[in-house]
Structure 1
């Protein structure tokens, strides 16, 4: 009997579903935003290394903002298979607090709403609310150092990480984009044709239509801010494989498109980008490799002074799933990021 490619994918994801990976951290879940007249909220997780808490010594900690992927349709801040082990280990090694936000998901909201969530999150992480969460969890021993801030994002999270980098470059020391979605107007996202993703053939367009019909039939459609696959994973595949991303994301607002933003900022002489490390699988079936090449070429052409490392590796989406801090290519890329992120003599304006 032939195996089901979609079930094979779920079986693969289940191999990485290990919640004990968070044991080295004290995890505090809180909200950074309310909406729907205060009746709904959006969650963020704050992960503080237990090794820092046990010292009970005054410590000012660097911050890693980590934004989850999931096609902007599914995923959550702490879904284990998509929270790369090397990211957690990197934070432990550097004594950093991880802050991992959720955000509203397509298609119930638009891309503009999602970027609004990211901007609200950014304000929250610079507010007394965030400092109080860390203060209370550490009995006042630990304080977040917002002057040393790294942003990490995978796939759709990489798209949102780049939004933050282009919007708040002076606030961010460095950026890591793992196979980020950056060339959103390419044919892959706007046209329907055969495009197996991670070995899964095209999902029927009916999946999207049925979801929309169900939403329209509800007097108060729920706004989804987190979903752990398999929840909404077929919906995500169907939207992407049938070329419908911009239908829900939006197509007219230039702020939604990183390449247009780079061109616009360069035209006005205001393009700045923190030191950036992007890596990508050359055979990536969910985010075409060529789109990342176009983005990096554009940045290098319009902002030659920008520090941007781009590494293509053989592999599909999630090329870093089994990488460790001792994996040669990752170790080399992180060396530059570590200097930009943590060097106390590294004044951002000089980068």
Structure 2
């Protein structure tokens, strides 16, 4: 019997049936989405969890097991939910506006096609989009937040944000070197763009072959602005005031994170309190773990970590209320 409490990257998805399709096509390129349905799931209506992957908007893949947190396996089985994992287009081949368009098109596909897709994949299984959890790690948190802003208010019942990207944070080469991190020159970006076929689509990097490219953008802010765009509306913290409500959210962050600045996350949470009031702020649980870095929670098991179990129980309650 598959252990759903303590998995490894190799066994992360062993307790699920994985169904693949695409939610949009650009020319001859498909933007893929995977649907994870727990094995032995019972017929009936099941809540939905949409998870956006990280990678700095430059790399990664929705089915990269190493970036799928261990505790989400037992959490998913306990809630008998269905996980939907979309890919999306990457910088620099595509802009921030292109990625926002992917988010919009994904949710159109969810409303139009997800129910029938799940029904065909698992007989007797229906989705309940009135019980919608959206999550994202790192830059996937950017997608999760933009999903809240793209959908009608109240549609997203709860958020799970893991060290979320809420605004731009490029680093100087000196700071990166001080941290012992790579600080490539912008020629890395030029070489990459020179070999990209015209009209091609980049939306998956499962083997993380674009990590040097991500480092180069982090070290060369002006190139990030050129590729991603400078419209303030690209940054979730800039558009909070366009909404009247904000969903309950669990946010996990380490205070030693060198990829996503904790202070940006704290600013975002403070802004929630200022815009939506103390009740909304109370329903945003920001958990800061001392000495922990980016991705610190990936291998945690819920049953071994009391604070995590407590927070996930709260998240489950506000999601499935």
Cα distance in 2 for residues equivalent to 1:43 and 1:72: 16
Within-5 A mapping of 1:198-347: 199-215=180-196, 218=197, 220-243=198-221, 244-252=223-231, 254-263=232-241, 265=242, 270-304=243-277, 305-306=279-280, 307-314=283-290, 315-326=292-303, 327-343=305-321
Cα distance in 2 for residues equivalent to 1:71 and 1:91: 25
Structure 1 segments unaligned to the other structure (5+ residues): 1-15, 344-351
The equivalent of 2:23 in structure 1 is 32
The reply on whether 1:154 has 2:137 as its aligned counterpart is: yes
Per the TM alignment, residue 192 of structure 1 is displaced from its structure 2 partner at its CA by 4.9
1:277-328: per-residue Cα shift (whole Å, max 9, x none)?
Answer: 1111101011111111111111112211312111111211002122222222
Cα distance in 2 for residues equivalent to 1:227 and 1:164: 22
1:150-180: per-residue Cα shift (whole Å, max 9, x none)?
Answer: 0010001011101112332321110010001
Structure 2 segments unaligned to the other structure (5+ residues): 1-6
Cα distance in 2 for residues equivalent to 1:274 and 1:333: 15
Within-5 A mapping of 1:103-118: 103-118=88-103
SS of the equivalent of 1:200 reads coil
Q: TM-score, normalised by structure 1?
A: 0.83
Per the TM alignment, residue 275 of structure 1 is displaced from its structure 2 partner at its CA by 0.5
Cα distance in 1 for residues equivalent to 2:110 and 2:190: 37
Q: Which of residues 58, 66, 77 is equivalent to 1:73?
A: 58
Note if contact 2:52-2:62 (Cα within 8 Å) is conserved in structure 1. Answer: yes
SS of the equivalent of 1:150 reads strand
SS of the equivalent of 1:149 reads strand
Q: Structure 1 residues 206 and 77, CA, compared in 2 at 3 Å: closer, same or farther?
A: same
The equivalent of 1:3 in structure 2 is none
Cα distance in 2 for residues equivalent to 1:31 and 1:201: 34
SS of the equivalent of 1:65 reads strand
The equivalent of 2:4 in structure 1 is none
The reply on whether 1:174 has 2:158 as its aligned counterpart is: yes
Q: Structure 1 residues 20 and 198, CA, compared in 2 at 3 Å: closer, same or farther?
A: farther
Per the TM alignment, residue 242 of structure 1 is displaced from its structure 2 partner at its CA by 2.3
Cα distance in 1 for residues equivalent to 2:229 and 2:57: 13
1:225-266: per-residue Cα shift (whole Å, max 9, x none)?
Answer: 1112331111111111222433211102x3211111013x2x
Per the TM alignment, residue 198 of structure 1 is displaced from its structure 2 partner at its CA by 8.1
Q: TM-score, normalised by structure 2?
A: 0.90
Cα distance in 2 for residues equivalent to 1:192 and 1:261: 30
